[in-house]
Amino acid sequence: MADHPTLPSRPTYRILFVCLGNICRSPTAEGVMRHMLRDAGLENDVDVESAGTGGWHIGHPPDERATSAAKRRGIALESRAQRFIADHFDDFDLILAMDRQNLADLQAIAPPPAERRAEVRLFSEFLPPGAPPDVPDPYYGGDAGFERVLDLVERGCEAIVDHLLGAESARRG
């Protein structure tokens, strides 16, 4: 697994999950992360949002299939779709693309690292070795695709929370 970011000294660390339309994968990651942060007692230390590289669904809630799958696991998806904008590079500490195409789209418009706050990474960097490089888009498939996305997102978010807990513990001394 690659090196992971550390919590900065400011009170709130900000994470943005990004997929294509912001109605399936990224709001699922946002909801799972919020749930795990609450369980870990970090909900006041980490802010989480999601966005899409496309603007087709702006203002819409997450896909009903994603919402249903998450609800069966006790996770609420409550966001509204927003489109990724250039300001996000300065508003967030960590931007996680759900697949390689989203990552390429973000990198194509990103200012150089020295000129932005955000570190831009691929979500799968937080998955164990052997995991797929992309969180697959379940939009055109059936319910099993949404369950698969949840499986991957839960594993990745757990690794992110574990890392944040370690960084927070180290920061507090």
Cα 48 from Cα 37, distance rounded (Å): 9
Active site residues: 19, 25, 137
Which secondary structure element, helix H or strand E, spans residue 117, and what is its range?
A: none
153: nearest Cα among 90, 98, 87: 98
φ, ψ at 81 (rounded to 5°): -60, 135
Q: For residues 126 and 1, is the Cβ–Cβ distance under 8 A?
A: yes
Tokens (6 digits) for 136: 């697959």
